[in-house]
Structures are given as structure tokens and as C-alpha cells.
Amino acid sequence: MVQTSFPEGFLWGGSIAANQVEGAWNEGGKGVSTSDLQPHGIHGSASERDSSNANIKDIAIDFYHRYPQDIKLFAEMGFKVLRTSIAWARIFPQGDEKVPNEEGLAFYDRLFDEMTKYGIQPLITLSHYEMPYGLVKNYDGWAGRQVIDLFERYARTVFTRYRHKVKYWLTFNEINMALHEPFTGVGLAGERSQQEIYQAIHHQLVASARAVKACHEIIPGAKIGSMLLGAIRYPITCKPEDVLASQRANRDWLFFGDVQARGAYPAWSARFFREQNIVLNITDQDYADLKETVDFISFSYYMSGCAAAQTELYQDERANILSMIPNPHLESSEWGWQIDPQGLRFLLNELYDRYQLPLFIVENGLGAKDTPADDGTIEDNYRIQYLQAHLQQVREALDDGVELLGYTSWGPIDLVSAGTAQMSKRYGFIYVDRDDAGLGSLERRRKKSFFWYRDVIQSNGINLNASF
């Protein structure tokens, strides 16, 4: 029988990240993070800061100072959960200090207390597209094996500090993205070989497993998950070689979930590494550490794409951080991201079949330009349509038997785009008055989608199909 409401206790909410909202880039004793050196977003190359490369994220949406007002608005929508990240460089400014920065710790105490005040659970990512730049300079990012210990120190510090406040954790945001953006993912500057990238990834996977272990030790009852960029690729045709090509492309990202959920490298990876001449330095202790597996699988989902054996026959489109062959059957967003609600149902089923662990959709949404009407209102029907269509497919997947902890839409409040550092690529239910040049009052305003999402949450999904 088709259920009409979502499961009891379903965690509805939204998802943001420190470097895209907080601003205050050099306040409160914070060190420089890798994101501070990417004024043009994660696709841009990293540069040492100077006065000419001020970054829109320096202020972002000033969440660091305005969070009480923003959390109040999230509470008004009925959020049960808010996903955000801790900026590692607020806690360990250079990354390798022995003692954490108390001012940074105190900021997140205040933030989590504010959420708790409204009954909003924090879901916290330890590293969302940033790390202290000191670790890049002094250890070559995640190429440095010592960074495993430094990350563990950071993780243990925040688990201990927030053990009574935070029960849901994620280790690395879109961990598979390191393959495509090594500076953002694993702090590797400049052109690097596959060998170096996979070695850095290996260190990060070990660090992730050590954090999982630490979390289980320090916070009984807490749940800690992986976070994958759900980059599903369909075969561009039903030719067997295209089907194999799509399997290959999907394994690129499933590799990370396999290690994090199963505690070992997948069987196929041995041949892959051999053929790519990649020889990883893996110690016996690493193998033992990797055995500590995650409690749930979380992922982002915005679009799908296709894969082909003969890629030269198709136009490859750079969408976000991945190159994907466009699907001729799908429409695209203004930023060229192909919209595929059924792909979300497919992905949920695939992940649940593969891992048999609870899932959590921690990012999904439509980046679009909003134009306020003369009276200031914002009729973002396109956004509602996108979210409604995706949530309808979530509903289907629940009926298929998938176990899903919750759904946090990306950017419930407008924020700086990770990919392009634009403000005009808006995801929010709440409009923020700031443009791509950084001009604007930073005033917050409810969009039409704000009231729509509030109604969906209030009815626990029963009103999902209502016209708007």
C-alpha cells in the first residue's frame, strides 16, 4: 500500500557549509583555509591571498554574526535538522597546533545551542571542501601521512566538546570529489599524478575511518556517515560496451562508499590500480583502521549524466565538477545541470541494495536566478517544482523499501556557490540581498518556496502533491 506520509521522525531540514555562509574569514582566531584561497570557487585555481583577490566568501552571507536570525527562520519552516560544517581552521588555525582555538570552539557551542533551542538537530560535517591552508603548505595536504593524525586530533576534539549536542556526523563532504578537484578535496596544489591523488585519498579514507572509531568511542549512540557525490551515469546506449563504461564510471565514486561502508577496497580496484600503474603505500595498521565502517550513507544529488565507451562520439559537458555526457531525454537548469527526479529514486535503490545501510539525502536542490517583484516578493515556482518532483521520487523509494533517515535540501538560505563563487546561483527558501559583486544589504526575505516547504514539513510529506 502506498503510504501518504513520510516515516515518523523523518529528519526534514536543510544543508549549508561553513565556507559558503559564515564569512568572518579572519575573525575569532580562525586560520586561512583552502577555501579562502579560491575566490572563484572550487573550479578556480588556488592562489596565495593578497589584497587584490578578496573573496566573496570573506563575508559570504555573514552567518557567523547573523545565525540567530537565520536559525529562527529555519525553525519557522519546522526544520528538524540543520546540516552545516565546522571550519577546521577555526579550531586548529594552522592544522597542527597542539591546543585548539577556544574562540572557534565557543562559536560552534553557541551555534549548536541556538539550534537546540528550537529542537533542530545539528548534522555536522567535519570537513566540507576546506582544510587549514597550513596543512597544504607544510605537509602537502593529504599527501602527508601525518595529516591523518592531525585530522584525528581535530575530530576527537570536536567530538569531545560537542558530545552532548551533536548526534549526527559526517566525515568528508563529497569525498569522491577529490578525484576531480584535488586541491579542494585533498589539498594537493598544482598538477598531480593519479598516483599522488589516490595516495592522498587513501590517507583521507584512513582518517575518515579513524574519525568513525573516535566518534563511536566518545559519543555513545551517535551516528556517523559517509558523504558521497551521487554521480550516477546511465549508459548512453544499450550497447554492452556502453553499459560497461557506465559501470566503470559509477565505480569511480562508489569506490569511496565501498571502502567506508565495507571496510576494505573493492575487488575490482586491484586491477584498476595495476593497469594505471598506481602502487599505494598501505600499512597493516591502515588495513586494520579501515575496518571501522560508517553507520549510514549520505549523499548529494542534483543531476545525472551518461557514460559511453567511445566518448569522442558525444559532446562532453562540464557540469559542476564532473564531466558528463548529456542525456538527450532530460532538461537542464540554467547552469547546465540535467534535472532527473527519477534518478533520485534509482540512486536511493541502488545505494540501499549495495550497502544495506540507512541512507540520508543531505543535498538536493535547484540553483536558479531569482528576480524579486516590485513589491519584493519572490515567486520561485521553478524551485518548488524541482523539489516537489524529487521528493515525490523519494516517496516512491520509501515505498520501494529504502530506509531513509532524512532529507536536507541544499542551501535553504541563499549562499555562495561552491563551484563558481556566485551569489546569483540561488538555492534558498530564504532570499539574501547580495549580488555577485558582493553588493547588497544582506537582508533576509522569505520566498514563496519557504511557505511551500513549511507546509510539506508540517504535514510530514502528506501535502507534497498539493498544487502551488
Indicate whether 412 belongs to the interface with ligand BG6 (CB under 6 A): no
Indicate whether 242 belongs to the interface with ligand BG6 (CB under 6 A): no
What is the sign, positive or negative, of the torsion defined by CA atoms of 6, 70, 377, 372?
negative
22, 181, 292, 363: the catalytic one is 363
**Closer by beta carbon to ligand BG6, 58 or else 455:** 58
363 is catalytic: yes
CA distance 403 to 131: 32
- From 1-9, 112-120, 378-386, 410-418, span contacting ligand BG6 (CB under 6 A): 410-418
Phi, psi dihedrals of residue 84, rounded to the nearest 5°: -145, 180
Among 174, 196, 292, 380, interactor with ligand BG6 by CB under 6 A: 174
Tell me how far, at minimum, the Cβ of 428 lies from ligand BG6, in Å.
12
Among residue numbers 51 through 80, which ones bind ligand BG6 (CB under 6 A)?
none
**260-279: buried (b, 16+ CB within 10 Å) or exposed (e) per residue?**
bbbbebeeebeebbeeeebe
Tell me how far, at minimum, the Cβ of 34 lies from ligand BG6, in Å.
13
Indicate whether 380 belongs to the interface with ligand BG6 (CB under 6 A): no
174, 181, 196, 292: the catalytic one is 174
Indicate whether 181 belongs to the interface with ligand BG6 (CB under 6 A): no
Torsion over CA of 292, 298, 303 and 305, rounded to 10 degrees?
Answer: 20
174 is catalytic: yes
- From 148-156, 340-348, 395-403, 413-421, span contacting ligand BG6 (CB under 6 A): 413-421
C-alpha cell of 94?
594552522
SS3 297: strand
Indicate whether 425 belongs to the interface with ligand BG6 (CB under 6 A): yes
Tell me how far, at minimum, the Cβ of 181 lies from ligand BG6, in Å.
10
- From 102-110, 161-169, 412-420, 459-467, span contacting ligand BG6 (CB under 6 A): 412-420
**Closer by beta carbon to ligand BG6, 40 or else 167:** 40
Tell me how far, at minimum, the Cβ of 60 lies from ligand BG6, in Å.
12
Among residue numbers 19 through 38, which ones bind ligand BG6 (CB under 6 A)?
20
How far CA 132 is from CA of 39, 94, 285, 402, in Å, comes to 16, 6, 26, 37
The size of the interface with ligand BG6 (CB under 6 A), counted in residues, is: 16
Indicate whether 419 belongs to the interface with ligand BG6 (CB under 6 A): yes
**328-349: buried (b, 16+ CB within 10 Å) or exposed (e) per residue?**
eebeebebebbbbbebbbbbbb
Amino acid at 327: N
CA distance 261 to 252: 15
**Closer by beta carbon to ligand BG6, 219 or else 228:** 228
Phi, psi dihedrals of residue 69, rounded to the nearest 5°: -65, -40
Tell me how far, at minimum, the Cβ of 367 lies from ligand BG6, in Å.
4
Tell me how far, at minimum, the Cβ of 422 lies from ligand BG6, in Å.
8
**Closer by beta carbon to ligand BG6, 159 or else 410:** 410
Indicate whether 129 belongs to the interface with ligand BG6 (CB under 6 A): yes
- From 77-85, 419-427, 437-445, 448-456, span contacting ligand BG6 (CB under 6 A): 419-427
Helical spans, DSSP H, in 140-239: 146-161, 182-186, 194-218
**Closer by beta carbon to ligand BG6, 184 or else 460:** 184
Indicate whether 370 belongs to the interface with ligand BG6 (CB under 6 A): no
Tell me how far, at minimum, the Cβ of 85 lies from ligand BG6, in Å.
9
Among residue numbers 306 through 365, which ones bind ligand BG6 (CB under 6 A)?
320, 363
CA distance 124 to 166: 7
For the chain, what percentages of helix, strand and coil (3-state, to nearest 5) are there? 45, 15, 40
> Within the chain, how many helices (H) and strands (E) appear?
14, 14
DSSP 332: B
Cβ-Cβ contacts under 8 Å for 20 (sequence gap 6 or more): 57, 60, 411, 415, 416, 417, 418
Q: Quick one: three-class SS letters along 102-166? A: HHHHHHHHHHHHHHHHCCCEEEEEEECCCCEHHHHHHHCHHHCCHHHHHHHHHHHHHHHHCCCCC
CA distance 141 to 196: 11
Residues that bind ligand BG6 in the complex, under the rule CB under 6 A = 17, 20, 129, 173-174, 229, 300, 320, 363, 367, 410, 417-420, 425
- Catalytically annotated residues: 174, 363
